[in-house]
Structure 1
Amino acid sequence: MDANGGIEIERKFDVDELAVLPRLNDLPGVQAIAEPVVHDLEAVYFDTKDLVLSAAHITLRRRTGGDDAGWHLKLPERAGRRREVHAPLGRHVQGVSGHSEADAVPESLAQLVRVYVRDSPLAPVARLRTTRVVHALIGAGGETLAVLCDDRVQAERLVHERASAAWREWEIELVDAPKDLLDAGQALLAGSGILVSRHTSKLARALGDRFPVERSQNYQRPKPTRPAGNVLLASLGEQISVIRTQDPEIRQHRAGSVHAMRVATRRLRSVLATYHSLVDPSVVQHLRSELSWLAAVLGGSRDEEVLQRRLAGLLDREAPALLLGPIRERLRDRSETDADTAAHTLVAALDTHRYFRLLDALEALIATPLFTAAASQDARVVVPALIKNEWKKLRRAVRRATNTVPGPERDLALHEVRKRAKRLRYAAETAHPLNSKRAARVSRFAQKLQTILGDQHDSVIARNRLLRRGGVDAFLRGENTFSYGRLHALEQQKAADAEARFWTAWSRRP
């Protein structure tokens, strides 16, 4: 990724043309103020026609002039903090139809906002020309603690009826100092009647009345006496947020990102199933179908990662004398090939209309939920009944597993038990704000079953790889198949041990 950056910690202040800087030397730790440096800057801000990045408090700009010319992407983290990612100016960019090359957003930055932008084009929405006077605050060791920028801005709005504006503002940004210096700077300016800007950013000020109003949640924190629909919306909102966070991480191949999004996708699908009586059936059916597709694509990459780690562990625990033939190389090569294929398939899926429309549908459900009458009933009445129903389904699945013969049929039945345990766990977790002790007890038990049967199911997958894509292929190549059979037997014993642990755990259910 051709980008770099860091955490931006700054505050902006509104000032008039006659404002005079106070004595910055009075700030804690500041020993001197460097000679001011003047820069002439031009910044073009990019967004979609509907300003979806601005609505998410994300800033994407192309700046020329000054000592940080290039592309800047600012992503919100916590109050007063933003992560800034950079990319250089240059020709290695992704073209956008209808705009000059200078208006083409680098792919390294575009991928970080695609979960918001989706298939909408990015285009210039504002142009700012700024005369900046930089005052560096120097510490005892000669280091730059912070900078105060005195900006005079000329802004043009390029969308939704062109408009122009001009203003002056000060900005204090930390460089190598604790946040206390920022607080002290704010207090010093307040003593002169200068207050923190009412505008969140220069872009917000440039867009004026077209800047998106922050959306308010259409639901309240779940409580027993509040509608059951609030419980569902809170859970959905939490998992949709995880998807937004993990999408760019997957595109950058960050460790753990695929697993995190897959879990969020499964939680969404599971919670929609549990709470299906609260939402229009057609909406639930469509979303669960599309979430199943996304989970399967994510699963291809994640399952291969888990399998590769499991087989590597098996091989590492074996005595070298028992590893006959090139078994390690064969299994590693197969896993790497399958992992690469799954990873490419996943990233391609995240750039499809199908994925973007799924995100649209999830957000639409949160914004304007198509609730049934049951959603308006008290959560303390509705939610326990839904969880009780999941308990019943889990018990039925366990009875079916009890009545199946050992072998592939039992493996399938136990896998169904695992899925039912997982659904019970997720349902119980949604009820945590209503009855934390009971919800925690049920979710811990369900998670224990899920973990045990997860090990059993992973063993089934590993045995399938060892038999079909290991031993059989080795036999056809004329290689020794002893070690494949031995590892298969070890995995078979692991599965039997896991099943025994499950029955013990089930006998101690709450």
Structure 2
Amino acid sequence: MADTKREIERKYESDDSGLPDLTGVAGVASVLDKGTTELDATYHDTSDLRLAAAGITLRRRKGGSDAGWHLKLPVAPGVRDEIHAPLADTVPDELAALARSRVREGQLVPVIRLRTTRDVRNLVDARGRLLAEVSVDRVRAERLFGGEGTAQWTEIEVELADGGDPAFLDKVEKRLGKAGVRPSDSPSKLARALAETKGGKPHPAPAPGKPATAGDHVLAYVRAQRDAIVALDPAVRLDTEEGVHDMRVATRRLRSTFRSFGKVLDRKITDPVAAELKWLAGELGLGRDLEVLAERLTGSLADVPPALVSGPVHDRLQAWADAGERGSRHRLLGVLNSRRYLDLLDTLDALIADPPLLKAAAKNPEKVLTKAVRKDFGKVTDLIEAAMAEPPGHDRDLGLHETRKKAKRTRYAAEAARPALGKPAKTMTKFMKSLQSMLGDHQDSVMARETLRELSAVAHAAGESAFTYGLLYGREERRAAAVEAETPHAWKSITAKAPV
């Protein structure tokens, strides 16, 4: 079973003089000598170094207190999530899965071997609590694949203790700087080993130039969403907070971009891709929608006075949520391991590498993008007027739901256009996000009422009171009615100020 921890560290160049005196660092009461350890790590990657290009490392390490397999995923400069699995001869399945969005059908092979003599010091405070671990690492690197040769260097590594304040690393760095120690130019030992052995380092995709045409701006947005999907894959597999939501949003942004900018990218090519993105968004949404609905219902129940809670309502709600979560989680992992999902990632790569640009793609971005955003905004106007013309009930609910989806599409179109259009696009994004949020609460109420009807029927069949379900249903009706009453006023305000 893999374990995850947040690793916050900094690396510095070093020479044979070893570690400077750190007793003067503010907050450090003692520097404890923890001895020397011999580490032997073999780093694995694809033949074209896809993991290294993304700042990801996968290694099998012997020696030290955490021998085993480690996968490190970048979070921010100097911050990585490290997933640890027990020592084994081959890459553990759980780590291979976390790298799959990068590796896909490629093979993982040993590329670098690092043998390190690590001299460790612990920085502790007056109460003996660990503040950081500081080590002087004497590294010997050997290229195993894609080149040849060896390299040697010495570096200082400072790793913050679990739960520590990152500002403490600034204090250590200031002390090291006074001693003439400078930060390392390499983000990791692997990056340095690849750079200093024959065969060279990975070559990430070249950064695109400054957007000049409408096509440049649209492709930049498409590329950002593709990158988000690939980068969020491990977070979804690990079930981290907001991972599923963020990947789902990226798929929606892509689909909206293809539709909004159909004059820029040929929809005969993008429509089939959009259909696959809709499939993926749907699979991602099964568990996420259930989670949001469960939180809404349990929160509403918590506000009900105990005297008005009749029967095992909380237990039934929890059992319903747990059953749905278990099923959706298992299904989602199957989707991420499927050939269909990997084919979608390959298709997005191919579309970006050879985009189906139309004539408008070469035109002035301000004119083309403004026209697309204005068109989407006009559709929101038509939908909201049609929805509010319906009497309260199913047709109005459906109309407001369609309005919300169109507002979301307009928001994403404005986001894509913002680098070209500036403040007007930013303002439109803000307005559409506000409308989307308001109508989202209405749709959540619709879904909550449907679920409460179902749970009420089950409770009644089991001989339980359905009173509390009816009470919650009534509250949801009032919440929806309040949104419906506010919608015309909110829309009038938006249309009066919208920069279209």
TM-score normalised per structure 1: 0.83
Q: 1:166 — aligned with what?
A: 150
| Residues 344-423 of structure 1: pairs in structure 2 closer than 5 A | 344-423=330-409
Evaluate the alpha carbon distance shift between residue 411 and residue 169 of structure 1 in structure 2; reply closer, same or farther with a 3 A threshold.
same
Equivalent of residue 234 in structure 1, options 214, 220, 223: 220
In the alignment, does 2:71 pair up with 1:87?
no
In the alignment, does 2:252 pair up with 1:254?
no
Q: 1:94 — aligned with what?
A: none
1:415 offset after TM fit, Å? 0.8
Q: 1:24 — aligned with what?
A: 20
1:383 offset after TM fit, Å? 0.7
Evaluate the alpha carbon distance shift between residue 239 and residue 27 of structure 1 in structure 2; reply closer, same or farther with a 3 A threshold.
farther
SS in 2 for 1:457: helix
**Which residue type is aligned with residue 373 of structure 1?**
K
Q: 2:134 — aligned with what?
A: 146
Q: 1:178 — aligned with what?
A: 169
1:390 offset after TM fit, Å? 0.5
Q: 2:352 and 2:63 mapped to 1: Cα distance?
A: 42
SS in 2 for 1:126: strand
Cα displacement string for residues 442-484 of structure 1 (whole angstroms, at most 9, x for unaligned residues): 22222222122111111111111112x2222233333333333
SS in 2 for 1:73: strand
Q: 2:456 — aligned with what?
A: 471
Contact 2:57–2:190 (CA under 8 A) maintained in structure 1: no
1:341 offset after TM fit, Å? 1.5
Q: 1:445 — aligned with what?
A: 431
1:26 offset after TM fit, Å? 9.5
| Residues 474-485 of structure 1: pairs in structure 2 closer than 5 A | 474-485=459-470
**Which residue type is aligned with residue 150 of structure 2?**
A
Q: 1:60 and 1:378 mapped to 2: Cα distance?
A: 45
**Which residue type is aligned with residue 24 of structure 1?**
P
Q: 2:199 and 2:45 mapped to 1: Cα distance?
A: 16
Q: 1:338 — aligned with what?
A: 324
Q: Any stretches of 5+ residues in structure 2 without a counterpart?
A: 161-167
In the alignment, does 2:252 pair up with 1:266?
yes
In the alignment, does 2:142 pair up with 1:155?
yes
Cα displacement string for residues 352-393 of structure 1 (whole angstroms, at most 9, x for unaligned residues): 122222222223333332322211211111110111111121
Using the TM superposition, name which of 407-416 and 203-212 deviates more. 203-212
Q: 1:95 — aligned with what?
A: none
Evaluate the alpha carbon distance shift between residue 437 and residue 202 of structure 1 in structure 2; reply closer, same or farther with a 3 A threshold.
closer
Contact 2:31–2:124 (CA under 8 A) maintained in structure 1: no
Q: 2:450 and 2:34 mapped to 1: Cα distance?
A: 69
**Which residue type is aligned with residue 89 of structure 2?**
A
* Percent identity of paired positions between Structure 1 and Structure 2: 34
1:39 offset after TM fit, Å? 4.7
Equivalent of residue 215 in structure 1, options 205, 214, 237: 205
Cα displacement string for residues 50-72 of structure 1 (whole angstroms, at most 9, x for unaligned residues): 32112212111111234553223
1:47 offset after TM fit, Å? 1.4
Q: 1:336 and 1:116 mapped to 2: Cα distance?
A: 32
RMSD, matched Cα: 3.3
In the alignment, does 2:484 pair up with 1:499?
yes
Q: 1:97 — aligned with what?
A: none
SS in 2 for 1:201: helix
Q: 1:502 and 1:54 mapped to 2: Cα distance?
A: 50
Q: 1:499 and 1:415 mapped to 2: Cα distance?
A: 12
**Which residue type is aligned with residue 285 of structure 2?**
G
Equivalent of residue 201 in structure 1, options 180, 191, 194: 191
SS in 2 for 1:276: coil
1:273 offset after TM fit, Å? 1.3
Q: 2:473 — aligned with what?
A: 488
Q: 1:201 and 1:319 mapped to 2: Cα distance?
A: 60
**Which residue type is aligned with residue 339 of structure 2?**
H
Contact 1:186–1:196 (CA under 8 A) maintained in structure 2: no
**Which residue type is aligned with residue 55 of structure 1?**
A
SS in 1 for 2:285: helix
**Which residue type is aligned with residue 178 of structure 1?**
L
Q: 1:331 and 1:138 mapped to 2: Cα distance?
A: 49
Contact 2:112–2:141 (CA under 8 A) maintained in structure 1: no
Q: 2:11 — aligned with what?
A: 10
Evaluate the alpha carbon distance shift between residue 11 and residue 72 of structure 1 in structure 2; reply closer, same or farther with a 3 A threshold.
farther
Q: 1:470 and 1:8 mapped to 2: Cα distance?
A: 50
Q: 1:111 and 1:365 mapped to 2: Cα distance?
A: 25
TM-score normalised per structure 2: 0.85
In the alignment, does 2:306 pair up with 1:305?
no
Q: 1:232 and 1:125 mapped to 2: Cα distance?
A: 37
Using the TM superposition, name which of 210-219 and 180-189 deviates more. 180-189
Using the TM superposition, name which of 254-263 and 138-147 deviates more. 138-147
Q: 1:72 — aligned with what?
A: 70
Using the TM superposition, name which of 231-240 and 348-357 deviates more. 231-240
1:308 offset after TM fit, Å? 0.9
Evaluate the alpha carbon distance shift between residue 497 and residue 195 of structure 1 in structure 2; reply closer, same or farther with a 3 A threshold.
closer
| Residues 285-296 of structure 1: pairs in structure 2 closer than 5 A | 285-296=271-282
Cα displacement string for residues 153-194 of structure 1 (whole angstroms, at most 9, x for unaligned residues): 25142x34xx53123211111146634644765786689xx9
Q: 1:501 and 1:296 mapped to 2: Cα distance?
A: 30
SS in 2 for 1:164: coil
SS in 1 for 2:10: strand
1:23 offset after TM fit, Å? 8.3
Contact 2:143–2:149 (CA under 8 A) maintained in structure 1: yes
Q: 1:84 and 1:483 mapped to 2: Cα distance?
A: 44
SS in 2 for 1:392: helix
Q: 2:198 and 2:310 mapped to 1: Cα distance?
A: 72
**Which residue type is aligned with residue 48 of structure 2?**
D
Evaluate the alpha carbon distance shift between residue 326 and residue 78 of structure 1 in structure 2; reply closer, same or farther with a 3 A threshold.
closer
| Residues 34-49 of structure 1: pairs in structure 2 closer than 5 A | 39-49=37-47
SS in 1 for 2:99: helix
**Which residue type is aligned with residue 147 of structure 1?**
S
Cα displacement string for residues 472-502 of structure 1 (whole angstroms, at most 9, x for unaligned residues): 2233333333333333233222212211111
In the alignment, does 2:91 pair up with 1:104?
yes
SS in 1 for 2:48: coil
Q: 1:187 and 1:124 mapped to 2: Cα distance?
A: 39
Evaluate the alpha carbon distance shift between residue 24 and residue 135 of structure 1 in structure 2; reply closer, same or farther with a 3 A threshold.
farther
Evaluate the alpha carbon distance shift between residue 146 and residue 127 of structure 1 in structure 2; reply closer, same or farther with a 3 A threshold.
closer
Q: 2:35 and 2:56 mapped to 1: Cα distance?
A: 28
**Which residue type is aligned with residue 254 of structure 2?**
L
Q: 2:99 — aligned with what?
A: 113
Q: Any stretches of 5+ residues in structure 1 without a counterpart?
A: 14-18, 91-100
Q: 2:445 — aligned with what?
A: 459
